[in-house]
Amino acid sequence: MFITGANSGIGLSTFLQCFENGIFPIGGVRREQEFRNELNQMNIKPDSYEIVEMRMEEIKSLEKLVPKIKTITKSLDALVLNAGAIETAPSLMTSIESIERHLKINFTHQIYIAQSIAKSFFIKKRKGSIVAISSSAAIDANPGRLAYAASKSALTTAIRVMSKELGSVSIRCNVVAPGLTETKLMRSSTEDEQIKLFTQNISIKRLGKPNEIADTIHFLCSDKASFITGQVINVDGGIR
Ligand SMILES: NC(=O)c1ccc[n+]([C@@H]2O[C@H](COP(=O)([O-])OP(=O)(O)OC[C@H]3O[C@@H](n4cnc5c(N)ncnc54)[C@H](OP(=O)(O)O)[C@@H]3O)[C@@H](O)[C@H]2O)c1
């Protein structure tokens, strides 16, 4: 399984659950050595995973992903498009640069990775699972999240289009849409007061935990989800 943004939050939980599920994880991160040191501190054996460096905003670093992964394995079953970024601003104060940055990181370059991994690993094998991490914000259109929500909406729709084209070669494409989940990204983009308000609207009355999102990602990547494609799974404690 190749997981982008594997060093933190939902991506880290997904990476670590691979060990419980007998899956060899390849993590895509910005700082390889730092992540290796962290895994070392968790007593994870260095031969039980691989790491490749990548920066979502730099297409050149993404062009190197497939060649790097091919030196690690000839066979990949699953891709988790998890790395993502958010900046918040009122709609009328959102710069064009910010919108373009969000689209590049959360949409265009995600699709580039999905295309290159599918062409290089999944098509020949006629098997593969792509799970993209979108957000409840893509549907709920929360204030302050114009650029982020739009980029996640684009990602969601594109993955659903891919699911319709690639189903005939047994490549499944699904989307996980987390609600507020306790991570670095969420804390940096949501005021404490907003968290309190949002939580009141969650049926389960608490924030999600990264592990709870990772459970769904692993299910969708597994053969247990062999007849599931083109779906958007809301893992949000019930907010609508
Ligand atoms: N937490 C929530 O409430 C929530 C809700 C809905 C959707 N999501 C989505 O869930 C996904 C994971 O986020 P998280 O909540 O787990 O937050 P997180 O702990 O901050 O993790 C975000 C990951 O993305 C990586 N990343 C960000 N920008 C990158 C870039 N330009 N190039 C490469 N990697 C980059 C980060 O790397 P660094 O550590 O190097 O920064 C980190 O590994 C994101 O797509 C996010 O939009 C989160």
Rg (CA), the chain: 17
Q: What are the two backbone dihedrals, phi and then psi, of residue 172, each rounded to the nearest 5 degrees?
A: -95, 140
**Ligand 1 centroid – CA 147 distance (Å):** 15
Domains, the chain, ordered by start: 2-179+211-235 (3.40.50.720)
Rounded Cα distance between 46 and 24, Å, is: 12
| Nearest CA-CA partner of 133 in 85, 183, 186, 82 | 82
Q: What is the tens place of the pLDDT at every residue in 168-208?
A: 999 999 999 999 999 999 999 999 999 999 999 999 999 99
Residue 139 Cβ inside 6 Å of ligand 1? The answer reads: no
Q: What is the tens place of the pLDDT at every residue in 113-170?
A: 999 999 999 999 999 999 999 999 999 999 999 999 999 999 999 999 999 999 999 9
Q: Is the pTM of this model over 0.95?
A: yes
Q: Is the pLDDT of residue 240 over 80?
A: no
Q: Which ligand 1 atom minimizes the distance to the CA of 207?
A: 3
Contact between residue 176 and residue 235 where contact means Cβ atoms under 8 Å apart: yes
- Among 2, 3, 7, 10, residue to substitute to test ligand 1 (most atoms within 8 Å of Cβ): 10
Torsion, CA 150, CA 155, CA 157, CA 160, rounded to 10:
-160
